[in-house]
Amino acid sequence: MSIRLGDTAPDFKAETTKGPINFHEWIGDGWAMLFSHPKDFTPVCTTELGYMARIEPEFTKRNCKIIGLSVDPVESHLRWEKDIEATQGAAVGYPMIGDPELAVAKLYEMLPAEEPNTSEGRTPVTNQTVRTVFVIGPDKKIKLHLTYPMSTGRNFNEILRVLDSIQLTLAHKVSTPANWNNGEEVIIPAALSEEEAKAKYPDGVRVVNAYLRYVAQPGS
């Protein structure tokens, strides 16, 4: 069975650049983003890890921890961190999981189960499905799951945007329209009657039709 939205994120123990962790305990009662990359010391991954180092405070503001992963060992990550800081201008402060036996990559279905249980001799091509993002809520459920092509660096600003949307919709029972950005109008659920919507949002509802109604973002 594949991992789906709403599933409980698989728990695991692992070694990281910040020491050993138990994943669910490490998440605690906040949010987490687990993002993986195909291989250390590769160009696209270097830009991604460096960008994440720069914008980590934005995730912290949203009570969201971030943690990286590849099938390389922790010792490789620690050496690579020096290159990331030198080329990207930011030091990696978040932990990176070393997964040389492919245990976590397989647990999260980034690699087929029949793959040999070792990272030895593996190339970015053999790990190409390991460019994945999981956003996990305080309830330890999967809220977002994205897999990118090996040659395409991820848009982490978009992931921040989705995190904003997820947190807003969970708190206020609203939805966000296409290309929504934090602070813009949101959509009232169709299940809410017109009378209920007007009572809940006395400052005004913008009605497009019976099922498409907008309101100012709560709390903005």
Among 167, 193, 170, CA closest to 32: 167
Residue 89, C-beta contacts closer than 8 angstroms, at least 6 positions apart? 50, 54
**pTM (two decimals):** 0.90
Question: What mean pLDDT comes out for the span 70-97?
Answer: 96
Is 64 designated active site?
A: no
Give the pLDDT of residue 198: 83
Across the chain, what does the average pLDDT equal? Answer: 92
Q: CA-based diameter of the chain, in Å?
A: 64
Question: What mean pLDDT comes out for the span 118-137?
Answer: 81
Choosing from 32, 45, 136, 160, the catalytic residue is: 45
Among 186, 159, 156, CA closest to 173: 186
Question: What mean pLDDT comes out for the span 15-31?
Answer: 98
Confidence of residue 164 (pLDDT cuts 50, 70, 90): very high
**How would DSSP label each residue in 43-88?**
HHHHHHHHHHHHHHHHHHHTTEEEEEEESS-HHHHHHHHHHHHHHH
Token couple for 61: 């503001």
Whole-angstrom CA distances from 54 to 42, 79, 93, 156 are: 19, 19, 9, 11
Examine the pLDDT at 1 and tell me if it is beyond 60: no
* Topology at the third CATH level for domain 13-152: Glutaredoxin (3.40.30)
Q: What is the pLDDT of residues 181-214, one digit of tens each?
A: 999 999 999 888 888 888 888 888 899 998 899 9
Q: What is the pLDDT of residues 106-124, one digit of tens each?
A: 999 988 677 767 767 767 7
Segment among 85-94, 100-109, 162-171, 202-211 with least mean pLDDT: 202-211
- Residue spans of the domains in the chain: they are 13-152, 173-215
Whole-angstrom CA distances from 70 to 45, 145, 162, 173, 200 are: 10, 17, 23, 36, 46
- Tokens 């099922």 correspond to what residue? 211
Token couple for 84: 């990331």
